[in-house]
Each structure stands twice: as structure tokens, then as C-alpha cells.
Structure 1
Amino acid sequence: MAHVISKTNITTSSSTVTVVDHHRRSLVPQAWEKSVRKIGLAECEQAGISLAHAFAADALSLYLLDGGEADRYSDEAKWKLHVRIMTYLVSAHCYSGVVTTIGPDYDAVALWMPPGAHMDDWWTIFRSGMWRLYYQLGSEGRKRYYEDVLPLLHETMDEVMGDREYYYLAYIGTKPSARGKGYAKKLIMDMAAKADAENRAMYLESSSRENITYYERFGFQYRKEISFKRGPVPVPLFIMVREPVAVKAAEEAVPTMDQIEIVKV
């Protein structure tokens, strides 16, 4: 077994003490700390748990799990259902979209739908487990999700983006214990580079007004606010769009052979 041993001598007034420090090699790939990677179905559960922690206090998550008979659910029951919802969403995006993560323990996760893709087909709904939500949500939760949230999200997307094809950032979250490390930035910019290369826009809904300025750092612009109103307090979402950034100016680009002046001696 490989490990590194370092020795440090500490001298006191009467003797010298040698402290041996064992630095064991970790099996967690070092690249996971700094690099964005795409995950598949085998990792849905871990990514779902990570998103569940990231959105544990999210207003929209609470909106779906409050009201009606759900008010009688225990905290443990609500948490388990919250984890299942996030895991189903991750699975659906693994089937029909793209799921990216960064960090040694799925510390930040992003769910993307590429241009022209969607998760509304029955095959994706069945394979991902999304169909189970109809039976697992309470009666009020079903009304909020199927009659309020989904229709308004689709209508707003069509209104704002029209017939354009774009990258949709459905969810992005960082576990509380991993915040402040720039993970979300790397997830966004990784896909933004792809969108720019294809001259595609990006679209998202933020459930926090405070996050508007955060997304603006990456070129997103606020478009409109929508809200869900079946609960005692309206739950807002803030729609933002990032237009593609033009490729580098010609003078900054690497010259082609046609642009290189050939001098004959």
C-alpha cells in the first residue's frame, strides 16, 4: 500500500521529539477536484442526494412538498421524497439530456437539456421513474406540479425563447459543505463554452432573487419574473437568458497559413 511518511523534529528544552505524519494516497481521482465531468445512470443516486442537499431549503422544493395532506408528513418522509424527486430528475437528464458534476463527492451538480432535447416523452418518464411522482406526491402536490409548475414553465419558455434552439439549465446546485470553491462557475462556463462554439443561447430559471447578480457574471440577463400561487405565499422564479458570446476577434485568433506572410530569400 502506497503512502508517504514525513518526519518533523520538535526540540524542547530537555529533548527532541520526532513526529511521524502519514499522508495516505486517496483513491478519489484528483482530477475530480478541478475538472467538470459528465456522469451516467450508475451515478444518479449520488448526484440526486447532492442536489437534495443543495435545494433542501429551496422555495420551489418546499412548494411541492407542502400543503394538503403533505402537511401531516413527518420531516423524515418529506426528506426522503425530496431525495427521490431529485434522483428522478437526474435520471431523466441522464437519459435525455446531460448531467455534469465536479468535486470529489458530487459536490456540485448541473442538469442540462441540449438544443432540441426534452424529458417529456413517455419513454424517458417511465425509465427515469418520473411517473412515480404522480403517486408519491400528495393530492395538493400533484396539482401544484402538474397543473401549475409544469404548464407555466413550458409556457414561459416558449414565450421567451420562441422557436430558438438553446441550452436549458434546469438545475444547478452545490452542497452547503462545498460552497465557495467556484464549482458552480466551472459547471456553467464548461457548458457556456460549448454553447458559444455552437452560437446557442442558454436559458435558466432562478428561484432566488439574490442569484440574479451571480448569473449576470456569466452573461445571463434577466428577462421576466413568474410565480406559482397555489400556496399561502407566491413562489417566484426569475427567468434569465445568456446570448452566445462571439468567437475571439480575428487579431486574437491563431493565424491560418493563408494569413502568414511567406518571405522568400
Structure 2
Amino acid sequence: MAKTMSSTISWTTTIFSEKLGHRSDKVRVCGIEDYKACARSLAEAFYDDDVAFYFLDVPDNGGKTREELWPLHLEILEYIVCAHIHNGLVLSIGENHEGVALWMPPGKNMDDWYTIFRTGMWRLYFKLTAEGKKRYFGEFMEVLHQTKVNALGEQDNDAWYLVYIGVTPSARGRGYARKLVEHVTDKVDQEGGAPCYLESSHIRNVSMYQRFGFEKHSRVYLGEQTEKPVPLDIMIRPAMTYTKTGRRMSTVGYKLGSK
């Protein structure tokens, strides 16, 4: 069975509270002093990502290019990284945080008003265009929340949520993504197992996540009524645990929500 919320949070604080050494080949836990560097790496990693720009590449933005939208793209990720430092887990790898993963532990989120206020995320309401606000607050956040609840069903509050993972273009091919994922999944498995969840914003990444144990569950679209709907592949890694022989197996009785 998956751990309870209280035991998971206790496990998180004891296992992940000590920051690791600043080495290029080791995963480390990031604090508030690292948020700008982590956000910049994610901004570079998601510069060509249609989901990240779904609420920026909008008809009423005055025809701005992605280069012109870069400052706001970066600012949004700074808010998101800060929220995960406060409420979740931010991991990085590389001498300059070239690989970054944002995880939300079971029962946690970044959508409460206190987090929105102290991270500055509330400023987005005044910086996005009318269409951008509609897409971000009225569609994007709601679709992601409801899709996760529907996909995981009764396991939703027990799941680890990989919200963002990105590696800068210059640092790809070094195995950073695998280390950022397995830093959490290995410990989760060793502690008795819990499901993990993510949305893949590019089809090329689906096979990579499958190698990490994630299974494709379904696909949803942002902007179904627009000229260019943006797909998201929903992926779930079933709860796993180690057997006496050292092999990882799905935990008995695990059931996902309906597709």
C-alpha cells in the first residue's frame, strides 16, 4: 500500500532536507538561493515547448515572438520554482543547474492563495493578456488539476507529481533526466512504493519516461477549440516495491482511475 500523507511528508523532510554537494554529476536539493538559476535552466529547456507558451503565444499579444516573450516566460518559471521550493521538492544537477526537476509530494500543491501570494504568482493576472489569463487561470490550471484527479482516482493524494523536468540543450545526453527522476523513484520504491504522475508535453519524451517505469494512460488537449490544439500525454508510474530478490514489482491491489 502507498504511504499515508503524514508519513510521506516526514520522509520527505528527513531524506531531502540536507542539500548535497555542488557537484556536476550529483543530484542536489535546491533552496531559495537557487531559484533564479533553476528557473533559467527550465526556461531554456522549455523555450520550444508549446505547452509552456500556450498562454503567451496568444492572438492578443501584439504579434510578439518567443524571443520577445522570453522575459515573461522566465518570470513565470521563477514563480513556479519558488512555489516548489516552498511546498515541494526542487532538484538540480550540473555545475550550473543545467538539469532541473520540480516534484510535488503527496497531498501538496502550489495553488493555495498563501503560496500564490508569497511567490508573486498573483502578478501574472496583471501581466498576461486577456486571452492569456483565460487560458492560464480558466483552462490550463483547471485541466491539469482535474485530469490528475481523474487519472489517479483514489490514489491521487498518495502520488508523487513530477510537475516539470528539463535539461538545457547544451547539457542533454548526459543522463541528467534519469538521475533527476530516479533520485525520487528509487527512494519511493525502497520505502514501500507510491504512484508517480506526470504530463509529457512532447511526444518525443514518452519513450524516455517509459524507460523510467511510467506508463501512458491517456491524452488530453489544451485549446481544443483553437486552430492548433496542444496535446499532453498523461503518464503514471504504478506504485512499486522491492521483493526479497531485489526486483521491483507493482504493489498488490494497485488500481488507477478510469481513462
TM-score range for the pair, normalised by the shorter chain length = 0.7 to 0.9
User: Which structure has the larger Rg?
Assistant: 1
- Ranked by relative contact order (alpha carbons within 8 Å, sequence separation 6 or more), the top structure is 2
Work out which of the residue numbers 132, 135, 147 in structure 2 matches 1:144.
135
Residue in structure 2 matched with residue 244 of structure 1 by the alignment: 239
Work out which of the residue numbers 157, 172, 184 in structure 2 matches 1:179.
172
Give the percent of matched residue pairs that are identical in Structure 1 and Structure 2. 41
Distance 2:215 2:62 in 1: 37
When the two structures are aligned, how many residues end up with a matched partner?
Answer: 224
Distance 1:179 1:252 in 2: 30
Work out which of the residue numbers 166, 182, 185 in structure 2 matches 1:189.
182
Over aligned residue pairs, what C-alpha RMSD do you find? 1.7
Residue in structure 1 matched with residue 53 of structure 2 by the alignment: 62
Q: Is the 8 A contact 2:91 2:102 kept in 1?
A: yes
SS state at 2:138 partner: helix
**1:65-214 correspondence to structure 2 within 5 Å:** 65-73=56-64, 75-164=66-155, 165-196=158-189, 197-214=191-208
Instruction: Return 5+ residue gaps in structure 1 as ranges.
Output: 1-28, 254-265
Q: Is the 8 A contact 1:68 1:138 kept in 2?
A: no
Work out which of the residue numbers 229, 232, 237 in structure 2 matches 1:234.
229
Q: Which 4+ stretches in 1 moved above 6 angstroms?
A: none
Shift of 1:250: 2.1
Distance 1:171 1:237 in 2: 13
Distance 2:245 2:154 in 1: 34
Relative to its length, the structure with more strand (as a share) is 1
Distance 2:246 2:75 in 1: 48
Q: Is the 8 A contact 2:105 2:161 kept in 1?
A: yes
Instruction: Return 5+ residue gaps in structure 2 as ranges.
Output: 1-19, 248-259
Distance 1:90 1:101 in 2: 11
Deviations 1:21-75 (A, max 9, x none): xxxxxxxx98521110000111111100000000000011221111132143355
Residue in structure 2 matched with residue 26 of structure 1 by the alignment: none
Residue in structure 1 matched with residue 218 of structure 2 by the alignment: 224
What is the TM-score when the length of structure 1 is the normalising length? 0.80
What is the TM-score when the length of structure 2 is the normalising length? 0.82
Residue in structure 2 matched with residue 25 of structure 1 by the alignment: none
Shift of 1:188: 0.3
Shift of 1:194: 2.2
